[in-house]
Amino acid sequence: MKQTLTRSKGLQGTIQVPGDKSISHRALMIASLAEGTSEIHGFLEAADPLSTRQCLKTLGIEFDMNDNALRVHGRGLRGLRAPTRELDAGNSGTTLRLLAGILAGQTFVSRLVGDASLSQRPMKRVIEPLARMGARIESTERATAPLTIHGIFPLKAIHYEMPISSAQVKSAVLLAGLFAEGDTSVVETITTRDHTERMLGLERREQNGRMVITTRGGMTIEPRAFSIPGDLSSAAFLIVAATIVPGSDLLLKNIGLNPTRSRCIELLRSIGADIREERVEVFSGEPQGDLRVRSAALRGDLVLDGKKSAEVIDEIPILAIASLFSQGSFRLTGAGDLRNKESDRISAMVKNLRALGCEVEEYADGFAFQGKKDVIGAEIDSFGDHRIAMAFGVAGLAAEGKMTIHGAECVAISFPGFWELLLQLQRS
């Protein structure tokens, strides 16, 4: 599918952004391990969370709808059933890695598979700690999916110091810790998104400048109501769109403002974006609120190094687009893991920025360029990556001429209806 965009006269409206993808995944898994029925309000009906839901259904979990809430009939820590077929994670790394943690503590064998893209992504980072806990996991010679998991109960509790920054690996180990004897701790130097520990109510403490999170083996998970806020990573595309398109004024409702996710807002404000929080409350342990965004002239440099890169890893493509339309420069380093996302995002961004006439310097772990005064639309390859497609779609709203996104259907992974929404927000 191709999507063509042209310069907008302004974006106006009030928007409810789709539910947070990361929280939707975790709510499904945690509710499945609870002792009873939970309700999930605001669940993201997109490809990735639906992959998680289908995998859990194959493991014996039942779902139904009640008053627009997804009901999950949890079976407790020991209630999952041996699957009768492969568990297909689709394109979702979160599904594969987090479920690996849960399946490591079962007493049956399961096999996790994914699509061609996911089957290229590194899994050694999750295999190693789970193997230390006692699970036996078979993979390809390159330590990629498919993964055949020979679970064991109980697992061994471990104290695991994260060698890389990864919320997925952290969550996999913490979830596996539910099936271990004793306490399992994860230590991270750079704080990554903390939805798992918030939702499980885990102990978190700072120690010598690092964060230590602990899971208690065998803890009972009570059923509850989950309220999923709007996904800030998805909202970021609309925030930047309203910022770079003159005459824009958007109100984004009920956006998740978890401090481990909101660094992108701070960075955009630092170069002149007009983003205001109008209401902030806490639901299900997660802060959320409304964001008012008006168009603004961007000035200043965005410099993202290792720590900052980890804090905005999913927002890097759209932050780069903001810099493209600013009077400043963009420089990213310490983000080598971007090459292991749905696409090689460093290569994808560099190729597409060059297609727009931008002079880009590429590194093994990032890229750099200077903002342009005039951006002219071009033919853009999404590389099957939802964040690449949406980032350059936003650029098309502020560029001269036509911007055509090839492979535009991939936005359904996280933001179904994205292209239709952009059209609805246009000023006449």
CATH assignment at residue 49: 3.65.10.10
- Same structural domain, 290 and 278: yes
Q: What per-residue confidence (pLDDT) applies to 427?
A: 67
Final residue in a domain of this structure, among 184, 202, 226: 226
Burial 257-279 (b: 16+ CB within 10 A, else e): bbeebbbbbebbeebbbbbeeee
Q: Which residues does 251 contact at the CB level (< 8 Å), separation at least 6?
A: 13, 14, 15, 278, 290, 291, 292, 293
Q: Tell how far CA 401 is from the center of its chain.
A: 31
- Same structural domain, 276 and 415: yes
**Catalytic residue numbers, as ranges:** 314
Domain count, the chain: 2
d(CA 381, CA 124): 29
- Same structural domain, 26 and 11: no
Residue-range definition of the domain harbouring residue 62: 21-226
Closest CA to 381 of 1, 60, 73: 1
Final residue in a domain of this structure, among 226, 251, 274: 226
Instruction: Name residue, tokens 């964040």.
Output: 387
- Same structural domain, 203 and 293: no
Final residue in a domain of this structure, among 176, 197, 226: 226
- Same structural domain, 248 and 133: no
Which residues of the chain, if any, have pLDDT below 70?
427-428
Decide: 384 and 366 in contact? Cβ < 8 Å. no
- Same structural domain, 234 and 130: no
- Same structural domain, 151 and 247: no
Q: What per-residue confidence (pLDDT) applies to 428?
A: 46
Local structure of residue 134 (DSSP, 8 states): T
d(CA 324, CA 355): 13
Closest CA to 331 of 361, 376, 289: 361
- Same structural domain, 256 and 376: yes
According to DSSP H, which parts of 211-339 are helical? 232-244, 263-270, 306-311, 316-324
The whole-model pTM stands at 0.92
Identify the three-state secondary structure at position 358: coil
Q: Tell how far CA 400 is from the center of its chain.
A: 31
Q: What per-residue confidence (pLDDT) applies to 373?
A: 82
- Same structural domain, 7 and 51: no
- Same structural domain, 186 and 276: no
- Same structural domain, 13 and 153: no
- Same structural domain, 248 and 383: yes
Amino acid in position 153: F
